[in-house]
């Protein structure tokens, strides 16, 4: 009989820097002949290695035996206190839930050590797929800012060191959730393999792709040859970088019934976002145009659509090259249904797309 053994250490009680292991709980799970059985052993704390003789029985009460599990770890101290230590702390002015395009203001300068304040800081973040934001001015600055541009969950951590180089016992953590608050939120991101630093800025520092959001009244030439006006680059019924805030609804500026492009990224990776709070009862169209690759070659594109803060559509990894026009999807309102646009070969992509009536 062959048995697989899984060992988990849990139930460790740690309080700040005054730490003491109160209990080590060892749980073993054995799988033999497709039968799962478990047993638990509790061990007192101590500086020595811990061994637990664990025996499991399956539902038929047949004993499953396996080798002893030997656990080797670390022990904090036998005394009640291990003394003062460096403690990392994080504060964020904007709180734990924000909308896309929010600049977060972090404060790590309240971190402390036995000698007073911290002397060195190291910030890290795990961000949603496609996000390329960085700490400004750097990840070693005590109170940096950070642009939360992509919807999703951001997990931040901070380690600090005192003047003697002693690190904080544990990193401080902080989680921020970015949730769109508009009725329709469309997000464009892209990855360009030949761009070695997609977070840098400057003229032609990266590839330039553009998000387009069409009203059904958009017109124009039939460049893609499907027998209907394309509508891309139409003024005023295509919302894109050149027509970022068109007036499609009421003339009353207090009524938020027009789309808006809140970010035009010309330097690589994105995101670009278009929002609409009060949609009309029509069907909108979403597209992506590869405006200029600036010599960086193909990009792999992701488009996400959120309806009232919920992700309802995502298409990722679509390869585009310079001047491609990708018709992504339609958004029906008031149903909020999103439908991908396809051709007989897959995604509907028109190469070398240029509207002869638009120039800039």
Q: How does pLDDT run across 107-120, given as a tens digit for each residue?
A: 999 998 777 788 99
Question: 152 lies in a domain?
Answer: yes
Do 229 and 270 belong together in one domain? yes
Do 236 and 294 belong together in one domain? yes
DSSP 330-346: EEETTT--EEE-EETTE
pLDDT confidence of residue 166: 87
Do 133 and 270 belong together in one domain? no
Among the residue ranges 14-23, 45-54, 281-290, the one predicted with the least confidence is 14-23
Number of domains in the chain: 3
Question: 50 lies in a domain?
Answer: yes
Question: 198 lies in a domain?
Answer: yes
Question: 82 lies in a domain?
Answer: no
Do 189 and 150 belong together in one domain? no
Of 145, 162, 178, the domain-final residue: 178
Q: How does pLDDT run across 19-54, given as a tens digit for each residue?
A: 333 444 455 544 444 444 555 555 555 444 455 555
Do 286 and 246 belong together in one domain? yes
Do 174 and 284 belong together in one domain? no
Question: 121 lies in a domain?
Answer: yes
How deeply is 54 buried, as exposed, middle or buried, from its count of CB atoms within 10 A (0-12, 13-18, 19+)?
buried
Do 67 and 159 belong together in one domain? no
For residues 208 and 264, what is the distance between their CA atoms, to the nearest angstrom? 9
Range of the domain at 255: 184-350
Do 262 and 335 belong together in one domain? yes
For residues 258 and 280, what is the distance between their CA atoms, to the nearest angstrom? 9
In which band, very low, low, confident or very high, does the pLDDT at 55 lie, cut at 50, 70 and 90?
A: low
In which band, very low, low, confident or very high, does the pLDDT at 81 lie, cut at 50, 70 and 90?
A: very low
Question: 77 lies in a domain?
Answer: no
Q: How does pLDDT run across 65-79, given as a tens digit for each residue?
A: 544 444 433 333 333
Do 217 and 336 belong together in one domain? yes
Question: 247 lies in a domain?
Answer: yes
Of 119, 148, 178, the domain-final residue: 178
- pTM, two decimal places: 0.74
What is the 3-state secondary structure of 30-86?
EEECCEEEEEEEEECCCCCCEEECCCEECCCCCEECCCCEEECCCCCCCCCCCCCCE
């Amino acid at each position: 009989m062959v048995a697989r053994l899984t060992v988990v250490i849990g139930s460790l009680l740690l309080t700040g820097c005054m730490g003491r292991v109160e209990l080590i709980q060892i749980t073993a799970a054995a799988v033999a002949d497709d039968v799962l059985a478990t047993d638990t052993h509790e061990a007192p704390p101590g500086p020595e290695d811990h061994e637990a003789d664990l025996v499991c029985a399956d539902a038929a009460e047949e004993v499953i035996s396996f080798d002893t599990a030997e656990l080797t770890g670390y022990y904090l101290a036998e005394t009640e206190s291990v003394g003062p230590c460096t403690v990392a702390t994080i504060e964020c002015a904007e709180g734990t839930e924000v909308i896309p395009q929010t600049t977060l203001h972090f404060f790590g300068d309240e971190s402390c050590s036995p000698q007073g304040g911290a002397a060195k800081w190291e910030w890290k973040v795990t961000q949603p797929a496609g996000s390329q934001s960085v700490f400004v001015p750097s990840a070693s600055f005590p109170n940096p800012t950070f642009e939360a541009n992509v919807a999703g969950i951001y997990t931040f951590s901070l380690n600090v060191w005192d003047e003697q180089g002693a690190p904080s016992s544990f990193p401080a953590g902080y989680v921020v959730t970015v949730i769109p608050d508009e009725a329709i939120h469309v997000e464009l991101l892209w990855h360009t393999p030949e761009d070695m630093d997609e977070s840098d800025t400057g003229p032609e520092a990266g590839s330039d792709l553009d998000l387009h959001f069409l009203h059904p009244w958009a017109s124009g030439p039939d460049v893609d040859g499907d027998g209907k006006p394309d509508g891309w680059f139409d003024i005023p019924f295509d919302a894109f970088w050149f027509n970022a805030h068109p007036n499609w609804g009421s003339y009353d500026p207090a009524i938020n019934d027009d789309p808006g492009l809140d970010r035009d990224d010309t330097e690589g990776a994105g995101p670009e976002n278009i929002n609409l709070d009060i949609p009309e009862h029509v069907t909108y169209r979403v597209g992506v145009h590869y405006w200029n690759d600036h010599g960086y070659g193909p990009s792999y594109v992701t488009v996400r659509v959120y309806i009232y803060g919920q992700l309802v559509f995502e298409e990722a990894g679509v390869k585009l090259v310079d001047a491609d026009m990708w018709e992504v999807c339609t958004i029906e309102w008031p149903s909020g249904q999103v439908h991908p646009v396809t051709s007989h070969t897959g995604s509907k992509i028109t190469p070398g797309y240029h509207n002869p009536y638009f120039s800039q």
